Copies of this chain bind each other. A is one copy, B any other.
Amino acid sequence: MKKEDTRRFEAQSQIIKALAHPTRLFIAEELGKGERCVCELTGMIGADTSTVSKHLFIMKNAGIIECEKRGTNMYYTLKMKCVLSFFSCVNQVLQKKAAEQLQFV
């Protein structure tokens, strides 16, 4: 593999990693519905605020979401809506796995 390809795959994997966590998938799906502040997300997720804040940082850093401060609140929005298209494929994989499991019953 060429060095330039390695860099490309590293950059790509950084973005995919930014989605590869249950909490971050939830955030992506939730922000797909509209903007949310950290406290709203924290309430829904049920983790420490600092934990949620760090998840948001990872996603923002990857370029998936963006934020805007209004008052004391930080509002996050989904910048790259296309990541929502991941879900349909992922669910296809899950369905296929489930169907295959059934064959062995």
Interface residues of A (CB under 8 A from B): 1, 5-6, 9-13, 15-17, 19-26, 44-46, 62-64, 79-80, 82-83, 85-94, 96-97, 100
Contact = CB atoms under 8 A, between A and B. Distances in A.
Contacts of A64: 93
Copies of the polypeptide in the assembly:
2
Contacts of A93: 15, 62-64, 80, 82-83
Prevailing SS type, chain A contact patch? helix
Contacts of A15: 90, 93-94
A49 to B, nearest CB: 15
A10 B21 CA distance: 7
Nearest to A21: B13
Contacts of A94: 11-12, 15, 63
Contacts of A23: 9
